[in-house]
Amino acid sequence: MKPIYTTLFFGLVCTVISAQTTVESDENAVDNIIETIFNNMSEITVTGYTYNGSPEAIGIFQSEGPDFQMGSGMVLGTGIAGEIIGEFGGLSAPYLNDPDLLVYQPSVSLYHCASLEINFTANSNLLELGFVFASTEYPNYTCSDFNDRMGVLLKPDTSDQYQIYSLVPDTDIPVSVNSLNSGVAFVGSPNPCAEANPNWQETHIYFVANSNQDANGIVIPGFTVPLAASMPLIVGDSYTLKIAICDANDLYLNSFVFINSQTVNSAFDCPLLSANIGDECENDAGVAYVTPNCSCTPIPGVPDIMLNAELDNNTYTAGDTLQLAVRINNFSTSVYPEYEINIYSALDPMFNPANSALLETYTGEEMAALDSLELIFPISNYNLPVSAQQYYLFVDIPAASGEIDATNNRVSLPFSFADINYVLVSIAPQYAEITLTTGQTSFDFSFNMYNPGPNVLPESLVNLYWSEDIIYNESDLLMHEYQGPDMNINENMTVNLELEVPQPVVQNPYYVLIVPQAIEGINEEIYYAVSKIQFSPLSATHIEKTDWKAFFDKNDALVITPGENVNADYHVSLFDLLGRNVLKERLSSNSGSVKYIPTNGLNTGIYMLKIETGSEMISGKLVLVR
């Protein structure tokens, strides 16, 4: 279950938290965006436009943050545009399930959608828009079901089908929370990220963890580097450009897409600057060079070596690992052909090799072969971390005086451990729903446990309760009790629950509540997870409800014959006895039209079938025998 945190504000709320970024969002925002941004693009001539969504979700931004190199342009979000700088408020007119984004992930529900469609005539053979995707789903819900997504899409007027061009670099994979992130799954399985992008851990180089929110001027915890959406055109033809964004599977934790006010050139490492990493660039402060995060940074003297390093996070909990990414640009190998890189950990913010622990050493030759370096350090290296203690990683290139500038050869990365000394629990998949048959006396149930504090809770307690609502109270029926000290961090538990409950009412939902024990003085407020239990009266090997029919045929295909008056889409889901959703299909059919759904990969066993139409839900128990 996704925890929801509520903050109460009293008095006057300030709408701008940093001079680095401003947002203008009002009833004229869409007209201003067309006039000041798209009408000034020489590649196109705008002939019309349509905005769908809340007026609060779109605006014009200006930014000068060192890591957020977007300058100015348009922002579109699943929350109010001002949220990027700390404003809070609700949306007045969002819409659901944008059909052009659903094409790329049809199995999800999309909420808080907003889109801007621009009709234009092409004046050039290519339109390239610079964009950044940012989300408050980072990092806590990386690799979860809450895979918020955006799209820069284009279609010629001769077609009804949009094509998406907001892609992870060098792939045909649309950018989303799961396809482009830090490369670290915060909780649970990394499978959702691997399914979205098989190389998701390698493409983390295009992601920025926003550890410097004050300087960057936006409060979103993570965003991509500036990327380019390159769209081929035919001069004189008419097109529709669509920029869209939606929340996935819930209404919480918003995401945003930023579109630069000028077109870009994707042939460069840094499209917005039309430059490659290491190129000299213009800066009022003096000699400047393009750094790996695509900023134009002034550097005294000749930067023979430039070092860039970042952690995937700056606050960790027991059971986490630190993932360190290191990139080095050696701009003048003839001057400084040999170097080594050392990685230390320390408690002192002032670097001193004598009181630091050397973790790794690499030679310049090794670094040149790798281009970039990724290292993982288990938290166990720090024994029992103290929450209040500040730790440091130093990435250092030792050099003789005058060989390289001292500001370029060392990076200090502070981090700490979260003050979490209690158990967190979750259900996988999120909001799991299990269907049981009337008369069933037991079932297997799985849940995950996270972050038992090693110093405080050597014998943590987790209880499972049976409830008729989702609110925990002491009168709920205790079904199972689990207690350490053998409980492992991030452990998945499967238990068999006996249904020692009165005969259930088929129409009523029930719930299993997974509740950690509250420890006085440590975690006074508990966070628990909920799984919905539904009972079905059907137990046959096929179902027949009114005029619907469903069964497995001799080829093990799931055969479904809709009833009368079915002329729209309907959804088919199949669950195993653990409540896992093993098949999900969206079908469109006329009444009586038979559909055959392959079940490759399913084992012999009992499955619960659920069919949802716009007006009814049909469920039943089916037996598959291979």
Across 34-38, 360-364, 368-372, 502-506, which has the greatest mean pLDDT?
Answer: 34-38
**Is residue 126 domain-shared with residue 232, that is, in the same domain?**
yes
- Does residue 487 fall inside a structural domain? yes
Across 6-15, 105-114, 493-502, which has the greatest mean pLDDT?
Answer: 105-114
H or E element that contains 357: strand 357-363
Q: What is the mean pLDDT of residues 581-605?
A: 77
pLDDT (0 to 100) of residue 120? 96
Which residue has better confidence, 587 or 192?
Answer: 192
pLDDT (0 to 100) of residue 35? 92
For β-strands 442-450 and 424-426, DSSP reports them as antiparallel
Q: What is the mean pLDDT of residues 72-83?
A: 90
pLDDT (0 to 100) of residue 216? 77
pLDDT tens digits for range 375-423: 776 654 444 444 556 778 888 887 654 555 555 678 888 877 665 545 5
**Is 539 a residue whose pLDDT tops 60?**
no
Confidence label for 285 from pLDDT (cuts 50, 70 and 90): low
**Is residue 85 domain-shared with residue 216, that is, in the same domain?**
yes
**Is residue 429 domain-shared with residue 403, that is, in the same domain?**
no
As a whole number of angstroms, the distance between CA 522 and CA 165 comes to 49
Confidence label for 312 from pLDDT (cuts 50, 70 and 90): confident
CA-to-CA separations, 115 to 8, 45, 317, in angstroms, rounded: 30, 20, 38
Which residue has better confidence, 510 or 426?
Answer: 510
**Is residue 218 domain-shared with residue 336, that is, in the same domain?**
no
Q: Which of 2-16, 163-177, 273-287, 363-377 has the lowest mean pLDDT?
A: 2-16
pLDDT (0 to 100) of residue 203? 87
**Is residue 325 domain-shared with residue 445, that is, in the same domain?**
no
pLDDT (0 to 100) of residue 303? 47
- Does residue 109 fall inside a structural domain? yes
- Does residue 153 fall inside a structural domain? yes
Confidence label for 284 from pLDDT (cuts 50, 70 and 90): low
Final residue before a domain boundary, out of 378, 394, 417 = 417
**Is residue 228 domain-shared with residue 358, that is, in the same domain?**
no
Q: What is the mean pLDDT of residues 215-221?
A: 83
- Does residue 269 fall inside a structural domain? no
Q: Which of 188-192, 237-241, 432-436 has the lowest mean pLDDT?
A: 432-436
**Is residue 184 domain-shared with residue 307, that is, in the same domain?**
no
> Tokens 């070092």 correspond to what residue?
307
Q: Are 264 and 130 in contact (CB under 8 A)?
A: yes
Q: What is the mean pLDDT of residues 498-506?
A: 63
For residue 210 the two structure tokens come to 């926003």
Q: What is the mean pLDDT of residues 222-246?
A: 93
Spatial CB neighbours of 275, under 8 Å, sequence gap ≥ 6: 268, 269, 281, 290
Q: How many domains does the chain have?
A: 4
pLDDT (0 to 100) of residue 618? 75
**Is residue 355 domain-shared with residue 493, that is, in the same domain?**
no
- Does residue 280 fall inside a structural domain? no
**Is residue 189 domain-shared with residue 238, that is, in the same domain?**
yes
Query: Model-level pTM?
Result: 0.49
For residue 337 the two structure tokens come to 């052909």
**Is 483 a residue whose pLDDT tops 90?**
no
Tally of helices (H runs) and strands (E runs) in the chain: 5, 40
Confidence label for 538 from pLDDT (cuts 50, 70 and 90): very low
Q: What is the mean pLDDT of residues 605-612?
A: 78
**Is 133 a residue whose pLDDT tops 70?**
yes
Residue 428: CATH number of its domain:
2.60.40.2950
Final residue before a domain boundary, out of 500, 516, 536 = 536
**Is 429 a residue whose pLDDT tops 50?**
no
Residue 581: CATH number of its domain:
2.60.40.3080
pLDDT (0 to 100) of residue 188? 65
Strand partners, 129: 229, 263
pLDDT (0 to 100) of residue 69? 72
**Is 162 a residue whose pLDDT tops 90?**
yes
**Is 493 a residue whose pLDDT tops 80?**
no
Strand partners, 28: none
**Three-class secondary structure of residue 285 per DSSP:** coil
**Is residue 364 domain-shared with residue 442, that is, in the same domain?**
no
Confidence label for 458 from pLDDT (cuts 50, 70 and 90): very low
Final residue before a domain boundary, out of 401, 417, 433 = 417
**Is residue 219 domain-shared with residue 176, that is, in the same domain?**
yes
Spatial CB neighbours of 218, under 8 Å, sequence gap ≥ 6: 18, 21, 63, 65, 68, 84, 85, 134, 210
Domain holding 310, by residue range, is: 299-417
- Does residue 29 fall inside a structural domain? yes
Which residue has better confidence, 10 or 164?
Answer: 164
pLDDT (0 to 100) of residue 337? 55
Which residue has better confidence, 578 or 96?
Answer: 96
Strand partners, 33: none
Q: What is the mean pLDDT of residues 573-594?
A: 75
As a whole number of angstroms, the distance between CA 394 and CA 415 comes to 11
- Does residue 16 fall inside a structural domain? no
- Does residue 15 fall inside a structural domain? no
**Is residue 54 domain-shared with residue 93, that is, in the same domain?**
yes
Mean residue pLDDT across the chain: 75
Q: Which of 130-139, 464-473, 541-550 has the lowest mean pLDDT?
A: 541-550
pLDDT (0 to 100) of residue 6? 26
pLDDT (0 to 100) of residue 119? 96
Query: If you write DSSP's letter for every residue of 83-144 in order, what string do you get?
Result: GGGT-----SS-BS--HHHHTT-TTS-EEEEEEEEEEEEESSSEEEEEEEEEETTTTTTTTS
List strand residue ranges (DSSP E) for 428-554, in order: 433-437, 442-450, 461-467, 477-483, 492-498, 510-516, 529-536, 543-545, 548-552
